[in-house]
Amino acid sequence: MPDEQSFHMTPDEFRRHGHAVVDWIADYQSRIESFPVLSQAKPGEIRASLPVNPPAQGEPFDALLKDVEKLILPGVTHWQSPNFFAYFPCNASGPGILGDLLSSGLGVQGMLWSTSPACTELETHVLDWLVSMLGLPDKFLSSSSGGGVIQDTASSAALCALLAARERATNYISNQTGSDGRVVAYASTQTHSSLQKAAMIAGIGISNLRLIEVDEKFAMRPDALARQIEADRRAGLVPCFVCATVGTTSSNAMDPIDEIGRVCRENNLWLHVDAAMSGTAALCPEFRHLQNGLEFADSYNFNPHKWMFTNFDCNCFWVADRKALIQTLSILPEYLRNQATESGAVIDYRDWHIQLGRRFRSLKLWFVIRHYGVEGLQYHIRRHVQLAQTFAHWVREDDNFELAAPVPLNLVCFRHKGGDAANQTIMERLNRSGDLFLTHTKLDGKMTLRLCVGQTHTETRHVENAWKRIREEAEKVPA
Amino acid sequence: MPDEQSFHMTPDEFRRHGHAVVDWIADYQSRIESFPVLSQAKPGEIRASLPVNPPAQGEPFDALLKDVEKLILPGVTHWQSPNFFAYFPCNASGPGILGDLLSSGLGVQGMLWSTSPACTELETHVLDWLVSMLGLPDKFLSSSSGGGVIQDTASSAALCALLAARERATNYISNQTGSDGRVVAYASTQTHSSLQKAAMIAGIGISNLRLIEVDEKFAMRPDALARQIEADRRAGLVPCFVCATVGTTSSNAMDPIDEIGRVCRENNLWLHVDAAMSGTAALCPEFRHLQNGLEFADSYNFNPHKWMFTNFDCNCFWVADRKALIQTLSILPEYLRNQATESGAVIDYRDWHIQLGRRFRSLKLWFVIRHYGVEGLQYHIRRHVQLAQTFAHWVREDDNFELAAPVPLNLVCFRHKGGDAANQTIMERLNRSGDLFLTHTKLDGKMTLRLCVGQTHTETRHVENAWKRIREEAEKVPA
């Protein structure tokens, strides 16, 4: 007969196996450059190696770790490799990982202040720290009318902002009786696809999300925005929301926040600013001009899990008027009532996002900021920008290549002059080689390669090698 | 001049600090009963102990760990304590924590199959395993028309189900042009508050979520549901969705899935089944009858992060028709296009939920299942149910107390016969004592105490002590 603690891992076993996992990760970091960056697995290959049925009896921990090495690693695309230049980075660091491990070990729920006060208060505190670290307007401080919260992703943050805007514009009637098809939102043709998804989810509909045209730098045109708002108003619609982007996903374009903000202010629209990757650059004062005009923003967000060494998921989202957000998302059933909530003296973060449950995510962010210090973080952001600028310089100097967009920070959009097929071939060969991983976009209708410098351990030699390999593959392309 | 790797934690430092964190967690597990379960912190107390400004220079890792002990722990409510009987559990285990640590170490994004094939394929595989482990209908298997995905929480799962239902009922027109205020959804008065939140988010509106009355066991009345649907149809509305619950949050009531399912089938409504905590009980064949009728369900979900030893977040969500879900949530911008997606041979999980980014959450679930084996998991679920049944027996035998609802599994709803004030006093004194933590609900208009047995390390002695302490506090209540 098993006793009550049978099957559980004892604290001593946890110690032993935990050390083994930590060591495995340290070793993984040391040998990460030995793997092909993009997994070479074929569809179905990983599944085919797994047993059809779950085990009836438990297995020793060592067997699990061996299977990670043998069965899982071949199917991993190494996002933490210094040769990863694809998409946007999703970088991590020792202090981030260990802060998150502590969060798992504590295993608390932060849905209400009372369900773990430290979970709420550390989060509020660190998000207030970031307001000053990033030079954001004081209205986003919890001591003013606003405040910050950790969301999972920029997609969820955008959805929450859109919902709050919808409700403010309809006087909180949509929440009661449903959206009536008259609410309209605005983004640019270059805005992240999550805004279209948010419009669908919120019952606003994709056709009521206007995609405003962009200028030659792929930035939203404020004059076109103003004209569209005016036309929609004349048609009896209810404009409510604009999303402006600091560093679009496709090409790192910078929407003119200041001018867009004035249009929003004149028309009483909610301005959400999405700085998912590029927001981290504001740690360095010299890059803050890229988001001039934030005093007009009703909400702002960036992802420390992209470029600030904090492992996924960690999106920081601020609102200028927390009441508008809370009024949109709050529901209080009896089983969640408690004295602290009713006193009004505390924040209950469940009213700040979609989910009810929430983990202690501020621990990892706190660890990252304290481990690096503001100056350590600034140092690495400047390095990454410098490396990307150097790469852009090489592209400019090479007769076979051209830049496809401005390079304000750490993303370089470029192309071989040989046309779409040539660029497609170059990209596929590079990615198949496993030496590096980069992805593409389309700009001015043309296939464009993207090289984004933002991985924690990317050094000069990795960027030099990327350029060498790109030119090697380019030479094989028929003229 | 710092070099390129300055400030980063080296692999050797990570090893050293990582061992320290693992040891800290092992020690925390060993001494967890020495802390008051519910944090005794006052609003603002934790923040007041933190420095006003972020550090300019980095700090040694040891200082961070010391501050967790000194500044954070006093603000922690110990969800992992064996004396935690509040809300629903959010239990964790060694293998779950270490699987999650590996996920942090690998740091991959699973938004597309191609961004890390193992992340997608292991998830599909483990969710197929669970279909057989829980005795769910085959239609939820990825090899049929359906399939499973890991969501963060049951709130998000319910939202996705509601959205898919809204779109199916409107022929995918809402996604394009917005919700038109005619769509209606159904839950019971006892359904989790996240359904109201989902109706608000989806632009359906709270007043278009009908809360159907319940019977004396707090279960939804299928006859009342059928009548309401009929009335709504006659009013020209578009009924689209029903949420039935296996184990409500308030009292663990079991909605009659079979009868509700027949009503849904007759009316062509999407049936979503929320088994957030209680779904885990289906690991044991003797409890599966509680969810008879799942063959009628279009979607189903439960939370391994509640009662299956898998640390938060981990919600398992299945749909019978994956096309309906994907068609609702898919957006494909150029920068995410890739050959694997276009081949149609792979799953891209970003189309199965709200977020784009996603972490490798199946690792921890895989670790838990393999560590315990199906029989180990069954053993602990049966223990928890048995402990709750024993507690219910004690309540029944005591003249001062009464049960407030049936006890199908591991949640006991009970009250002192002295009335609301007596129960409020008993609860507050118990929680303030730190010896245990339990919460309340309202049933039949009366304040009701809830004791939920589901923490990983809860043994007979903890439940015995809870009952002893409850009776002690009850004796102090004026008659």
In order of start, what are the domains of chain A with their CATH numbers? 12-82 (1.20.1340.10), 108-359 (3.40.640.10), 380-476 (3.90.1150.10)
Residue of A371, A415, A451, A457 to mutate, testing the B interface (most B Cβ within 10 Å of its Cβ): A371
How far apart CA A148 and CA A137 sit, in angstroms, is 12
The pLDDT tens digits of the residues spanning B373-408 come to: 999 999 999 999 999 999 999 999 999 999 999 999
Chain B residues with beta carbon closer than 8 angstroms to that of A71: 118
Nearest residue of chain A to residue B332 (CA atoms) = A193
Residue pair B443/B251 in contact by the 8 Å Cβ criterion: yes
Chain A residues with beta carbon closer than 8 angstroms to that of B114: 38-39, 77
The two structure tokens encoding residue A376: 């350590």
How far apart CA A367 and CA A101 sit, in angstroms, is 11
CA distance A470 to chain B (A): 19
3-state helix, strand, coil in chain A (%, to 5): 50, 15, 35
Chain A residues with beta carbon closer than 8 angstroms to that of B121: 44-47, 50, 75
Average pLDDT over residues A319-343: 88
Residue pair A102/A370 in contact by the 8 Å Cβ criterion: no
Average pLDDT over residues A10-25: 98
pLDDT over 70 for what percent of chain A? Answer: 100
CA distance B188 to chain A (A): 13
Strand pairing category for A315-319 and B439-443: unpaired
Residue pair A236/A182 in contact by the 8 Å Cβ criterion: yes
How big is the A-B interface in CB pairs under 8 Å?
544
pLDDT at B409 over 90: yes
CB contact under 8 A, B106 and A28: yes
Q: Residue B103 half-sphere exposure, CB side, CA atoms within 13 Å?
A: 30
Average pLDDT over residues A385-406: 98
Terminal C-alpha separation, chain B: 76
Contact residues for A365 (Cβ-Cβ < 8 A; gap 6+): A96, A99, A126, A150, A304, A310, A314, A316
Mean pLDDT value across chain B: 96
Measure Cα distances from A264 to A255, A259, A270, B458 in Å: 14, 9, 7, 55
CA distance A341 to chain B (A): 10
pLDDT at B265 over 90: yes
Least confident piece of the model among A15-24, B49-58, B172-181: B172-181
Amino acid, single-letter form, for residue A60: P
Chain A residues with beta carbon closer than 8 angstroms to that of B109: 79, 87, 90, 312
Residue pair B90/B83 in contact by the 8 Å Cβ criterion: no
Structure confidence at residue B99 as a pLDDT band (50, 70, 90): very high
The two structure tokens encoding residue A80: 């933490």
Amino acid, single-letter form, for residue A469: R
Nearest residue of chain A to residue B26 (CA atoms) = A11
Closest by CA position to B121, among listed A48, A183, A260: A48
Closest by CA position to B186, among listed B167, B160, B204: B204
CB contact under 8 A, B121 and A47: yes
Closest by CA position to B214, among listed B194, B186, B234: B186
Nearest residue of chain A to residue B447 (CA atoms) = A334
Q: CA-based angle B382:B456:B384, to the nearest 5?
A: 25
The pLDDT tens digits of the residues spanning B114-142 come to: 999 999 999 999 999 999 999 999 999 99
**Number of Cβ atoms within 10 Å of the Cβ of B465:** 15
How far apart CA A30 and CA A36 sit, in angstroms, is 14
Q: What is the DSSP letter of B192?
A: -
How far apart CA A17 and CA A21 sit, in angstroms, is 6
Closest by CA position to A432, among listed B340, B41, B185: B340
Closest by CA position to A379, among listed B154, B243, B68, B8: B8
Q: State the pLDDT at residue B337.
A: 82
pLDDT at B335 over 80: no
Structure confidence at residue A320 as a pLDDT band (50, 70, 90): very high
pLDDT at A54 over 70: yes
The conformational region for residue A440 under phi > 0 = left, psi -120 to 50 = alpha, else beta, is: beta
Average pLDDT over residues B89-101: 97
Chain B residues with beta carbon closer than 8 angstroms to that of A345: 43-44
Average pLDDT over residues B6-33: 97
The answer to whether the predicted template modeling score (pTM) of the entire model surpasses 0.95 is: yes
Residue of B5, B13, B35, B47 to mutate, testing the A interface (most A Cβ within 10 Å of its Cβ): B47
Q: Classify burial at A12, counting beta carbons within 10 Å of its beta carbon; exposed 0-12, middle 13-18, buried 19 or more.
A: exposed
CB contact under 8 A, A76 and B108: yes
Q: State the pLDDT at residue A479.
A: 65
Chain A residues with beta carbon closer than 8 angstroms to that of B152: 152, 355, 357
pLDDT at A340 over 90: no
CA distance A278 to chain B (A): 17
**Number of Cβ atoms within 10 Å of the Cβ of A138:** 13
Structure confidence at residue B69 as a pLDDT band (50, 70, 90): very high
Q: Three-state SS for A181?
A: coil
Q: Classify burial at A66, counting beta carbons within 10 Å of its beta carbon; exposed 0-12, middle 13-18, buried 19 or more.
A: exposed
CA distance A455 to chain B (A): 11
Q: State the pLDDT at residue B255.
A: 98
pLDDT at B198 over 80: yes
pLDDT at A1 over 80: no
The pLDDT tens digits of the residues spanning B273-301 come to: 999 999 999 999 999 999 999 999 999 99
pLDDT at B324 over 90: yes
The pLDDT tens digits of the residues spanning A133-154 come to: 999 999 999 999 999 999 999 9
Length of chain B: 479
